Structure 1
Amino acid sequence: METLLPKVNDLIYIQVASADKKEDDKECKSRIADLGDEFYLIEVPIEVGSGRIRRLFAGDELSVYFLTEDGVKNYFNTYVLGYADDVVQLVRIRKPEPEAITKIQRRHYLRVVAELEIAVRVQDNTRFVALTEDVGGGGVSMICDGKYRLKEGDPLYCWLLLPYKNGSIEHAPFEAEVVRTKKLETGKDLVMLKFVSISDMERQKIIRYCFERQFDFRNR
């Protein structure tokens, strides 16, 4: 069976995962200019309809589709790795695994189940270490001691420990806000956080970890 990956010169259609619903729904089109073993270089996307250039940032998550010769849409999720300067500026995006290409669109920030260490500092300077329950490009959930009494809207400063497949370990610092808390039967709290301030580079570290984990789950 031929692998259904888009090729150089193919048109692709892109939606950028965004917290802003209006932005989220905008469709852009681009063309694949070049490719490597693990990435595609694409032209800077243009918004369909308005013709405006859509600026992408390292770490942006994209829902992409391309059309096969018989007109079937094939979707995959990917993320922006960075830029390459040719005569025109090109965007480098991660090449999907052939088996990650589907006929169904899966939109949203990628979230994976993962027990990672997270160091937390609350506004009153209380510090503690907890374990995440899941992590994603838009936020994390963690399980912590109920005595900290975290509540919706609380700002937190966090450092997440990210162990990669190749043995390297990265720390991703970010500011977050508590979205929801839930009391568990164990007496601990499940606390859901969304990122409020995180650099593109740090978000990209987290997304890279998620893609590695997602691929692990699929290969089991």
Structure 2
Amino acid sequence: MKRLLPKINDLVYIQVASEIEKEEKIEYKSRISEMEEDSFLIEVPIPVDGGGMKKLYMGDELSVYFLTDEGVKNYFNTYVLGFVSDNIKLVRIRKPDPESITRIQRRNFLRVTADLEVAVKTPNNIRFVARTEDIGGGGFSFYCEPQYSLLEGDILHCWVLLPYKNGSIEHVPIEAEIVRTKKLETGRSLVMMKFESISDMERQKLIRYCFERQFDFRNR
């Protein structure tokens, strides 16, 4: 069966990956405004149930579906590449491989358990090194020692060390916002981050690492 991509002017329905379960369940709608070779430009999403426009960030991971002419839901996962401001603001999202489009929603966004070294610089220019709990194309979590005081909403400058299976290592610079902190019994905190600013090239490095990790998990 040939899988088709949505077309210009088609409505798409979107859920945004979030550390907060309530936010992840909100459904938004948008419209495809333009097509590019590797991406779609969509209107800024609005909640299906009404409300203001949804502010998206570079790297947000999205679960998207559109309806075929027969009314069948076709799902794909993608992420925000950037923004275009013409007469109206548009959001650029990665165009999926048609073969990845399914009739079943896959809510497992590209987030994998990973013990990685991350160098952190706080808004007060305090620097420390931590270890991640997990990482994905739109955010990560790390363990923070109790002597460092971090607040929700803080923007941190981070450098994540990614070791690949072929032996190469990449340092990926990321600006990320703290969306939640969770106090642990050990006295440390688990700090949950979403990307505020990351280049598409750096995100591709992260996604490559995540795919390698997912492949490892599947083959255990």
Q: CA deviation at 1:67?
A: 1.2
Identity of aligned residues (%): 46
**Residues 119 and 54 (structure 1), Cα distance of their counterparts in 2 relative to 1, 3 Å cut:** closer
1:172–1:205 contact (8 Å) kept in structure 2: no
Q: How does 1:51-130 map onto structure 2 within 5 Å?
A: 52-107=52-107, 109-112=109-112, 116-119=116-119, 127-128=128-129
Tell me which residue corresponds to 2:140: 139
Displacement of 1:9: 1.8
For the structure 1 residues 128 and 50, does the alpha-carbon distance in structure 2 shift closer, same or farther, using more than 3 Å as the test?
Answer: closer
Q: Distance in 1 between matches of 2:205 and 2:4?
A: 25
Structure 2 spans left out of the alignment, 5+ residues: none
CA distance in 2, matches of 1:107, 1:2: 23
Q: Is residue 212 from structure 1 mapped to residue 208 from structure 2 by the alignment?
A: yes
Show the counterpart of 1:194. 192
Conserved? CA contact 2:177–2:196, under 8 Å: no
Corresponding residue of 1:186: none
- Residue 17 of structure 1 corresponds to 17
For the 8 Å contact 2:43–2:91, the answer to whether it is kept is: yes
**In structure 2, how many angstroms separate the alpha carbons of the residues matched to 1:170 and 1:33?**
32
Q: Deviations over 1:6-48 (max 9, x none)?
A: 1222111011223333332221111111111211001122221
Give me the TM-score of the superposition, normalised by structure 1: 0.67
Conserved 8 A contact 1:154-1:178: no
Distance 1:41 1:128 in 2: 38
Give the residue type in structure 2 aligned to 1:111. Answer: R
Contact 1:160–1:173 at 8 Å: present in 2 too? no
Aligned to 1:187: none
RMSD of aligned Cα (Å) = 4.3
Closer, same or farther: CA 205–194 of 1 in aligned 2, 3 Å = farther
- Tell me if structure 2 keeps the 8 A contact 1:32–1:42: yes
Cα separation, 1, equivalents of 2:177 and 2:55: 24
> Which of residues 126, 148, 171 in structure 1 aligns to 2:173?
171
Residue 161 of structure 1 deviates from its aligned partner by 2.8
User: What letter is aligned with 2:207?
Assistant: F
What are the Cα deviations for residues 148-167 of structure 1, in whole angstroms up to 9, with x where unaligned?
A: 9x57x985975313589xx9
Aligned length: 204
The answer (yes or no) to whether the contact 2:30–2:42 under 8 Å persists in 1 is yes
Q: What CA distance in whole angstroms lies between the structure 2 residues aligned with 1:194 and 1:3?
A: 36
Q: Measure the CA separation in 1 of the matches of 2:87 and 2:205.
A: 32
State whether residues 112 and 210 of structure 1, in contact with CA within 8 Å, keep that contact through their aligned partners in structure 2. no
**Tell me, which stretches of 5 or more residues in structure 1 are unaligned?**
143-147, 184-190
Give the letter for the 1:200 counterpart. Answer: E
Within 2, Cα distance between the matches of 1:81 and 1:181? 34
Query: Given residue 135 of structure 1, which amino acid in structure 2 is its aligned partner?
Result: I
The answer to whether the Cα contact below 8 Å between 1:113 and 1:134 also exists between their aligned partners in 2 is yes
TM-aligned CA deviation for residue 66 of structure 1:
0.7
Over alpha carbons, which structure has the higher Rg?
A: 1
Query: What is the DSSP-based 3-state SS (H/G/I as helix, E as strand, rest coil) of the residue aligned with 2:197?
Result: helix
Structure 1 residue 61, shift from structure 2 partner: 1.7
* Aligned amino acid, residue 10 of structure 1: D
